[in-house]
A and B are shown apart, each in its own frame.
Chain A
Amino acid sequence: MSLLSVETLSLAIRAEPILRDVSFEIGAGEVFGLVGESGSGKSMTALALMQLLPDGARAEGAARFGGRDLLSLGERAMCGLRGNEIGMIFQEPMTALNPVQTVGDQVAETLIVHGAADRAGAAAAARDRLARVGLPAERFPLSRYPHELSGGQRQRVCIAMAVALRPKLLIADEPTTALDVTTQAQILDLLKGLVAEEGMSLMLITHDLAVVSGMADHVAVMQDGRIVEAAATETLFRRRAHPYTDRLFAATAHVPERHGAPRETPLLDVRGAVRDYALPGTRLFGAAPTFRAVDGVSFTLHAGESLGLVGESGCGKSTLTRAILGLEDLQGGRITLDGATVHAGRRMPATLRRKMQVVFQDPFGSFNPRHRVARLVAEPFHLLDHAPEDRDDRIAGALEAVGLSPADGARYIHEFSGGQRQRIAIARALIIRPKLIVLDEAVSALDVSIRAQILDLLADLQGRFGLSYLFISHDLTVVRAITDRVLVMKAGEIVEEGRTETVFDAPAHPYTRQLIAAAPAIPAHWTEDRHGTG
Chain B
Amino acid sequence: MRWPPALLLGGALTAVFAVAALVSFVWTPHGVEGLNIAEKLRTPGATYWLGTDHFGRDILSMLMVGARTSIAVAIVAVGMGVTLGVPLGLLAAARRGGLVDEVVMRGNDLIFAFPALVIAILITAVFGPSALNAILAIGIFNTPVFARVTRGAALSLWTLDYILAARVAGKGGFRISVEHILPNIANLLIVQATIQFSLGILAEAGLSYVGLGAQPPTPSWGRMLAESQTMISFAPHLAIFPGLAIVLTVLGLNLMGDGLRDLLDPRLRRAR
Contacts and interface: CB of A to CB of B under 8 A. Distances in A.
Question: Is A–B contact present in the complex under a CB 8 A cutoff?
Answer: yes
Interface stretch (B36-44, B105-113, B161-169, B190-198): B161-169
Nearest to A369: B184
A356 interface: yes
Interface in A367-384: 367-370, 376, 379-380, 382-383
Nearest to B172: A346
Contacts of B160: 362, 365-366
Contact of B168 (A327, A365, A376): A327
B183 interface: yes
A325 B168 contact: yes
B165 A366 contact: yes
A382 B171 contact: yes
Interface in B143-200: 160-162, 164-172, 180, 183-184
Nearest to A326: B168
B169 A382 contact: yes
A368 B162 contact: yes
Nearest to A359: B165
Interface in A318-376: 325-327, 345-346, 348, 350, 353, 356-358, 360-362, 365-370, 376
30 contacts: A325-B167, A327-B164, A327-B167, A327-B168, A345-B172, A346-B172, A348-B170, A353-B170, A357-B168, A358-B165, A358-B168, A360-B161, A360-B165, A362-B161, A365-B161, A366-B160, A366-B165, A367-B162, A369-B184, A370-B183, A376-B162, A379-B169, A379-B171, A380-B169, A380-B170, A382-B169, A382-B171, A383-B169, A383-B170, A425-B165
Interface of A: 325-327, 345-346, 348, 350, 353, 356-358, 360-362, 365-370, 376, 379-380, 382-383, 425, 428
Contact of A353 (B161, B165, B168, B180): B168
Contacts of A348: 170
B170 A382 contact: yes
B255 to A, nearest CB: 26
**Which of B161, B165, B166, B180 lies at the interface centre, i.e. has the most chain A CB atoms within 10 A of its CB?**
B165
B162 A365 contact: yes
A379 B238 CA distance: 62
B194 to A, nearest CB: 21
A368 B184 contact: yes
Contacts of B170: 348, 350, 353, 380, 382-383
A325 B164 CA distance: 9
A356 to B, nearest CB: 7
Contacts of A353: 168-170
Interface in B69-114: none
Contact of A356 (B164, B168, B172, B184): B168
A370 B165 contact: no
8 smallest beta-carbon distances between A and B, as pairs: A360-B161, A366-B161, A365-B160, A380-B169, A365-B161, A353-B170, A383-B170, A379-B169
Contacts of A357: 168
Interface in B98-133: none
B184 A360 contact: no
Residue of B167, B168, B172, B180 contacting most chain A CB atoms (<10 Å): B168
Contacts of A376: 162
With most chain A CB atoms within 10 A of its CB, the pick from B164, B166, B180 is: B164
Nearest to B175: A382
A315 B13 CA distance: 58
Given A327-B164, A353-B169, 20 more contacts: A325-B167, A325-B168, A326-B168, A327-B167, A356-B168, A360-B161, A360-B165, A362-B160, A366-B160, A366-B162, A368-B162, A379-B165, A379-B166, A379-B169, A379-B171, A380-B170, A382-B170, A383-B169, A383-B170, A425-B165
B217 to A, nearest CB: 48
B164 A370 contact: no
Contacts of A370: 183-184
Contacts of B167: 325, 327
Contacts of B162: 365-368, 376
Contacts of A346: 172
Contacts of A366: 160-162, 165
A357 B167 CA distance: 10
Nearest to B186: A370
B74 to A, nearest CB: 29
Contacts of B171: 379, 382
Contacts of B164: 325, 327, 358, 360
A399 to B, nearest CB: 17
B11 to A, nearest CB: 24
A428 B165 contact: yes
Contacts of A379: 165-166, 169, 171
Contacts of B169: 353, 379-380, 382-383
Contacts of A325: 164, 167-168
B153 to A, nearest CB: 14
Contacts of B165: 358, 360, 366, 379, 425, 428
B272 to A, nearest CB: 15
A340 to B, nearest CB: 14
B168 A361 contact: no
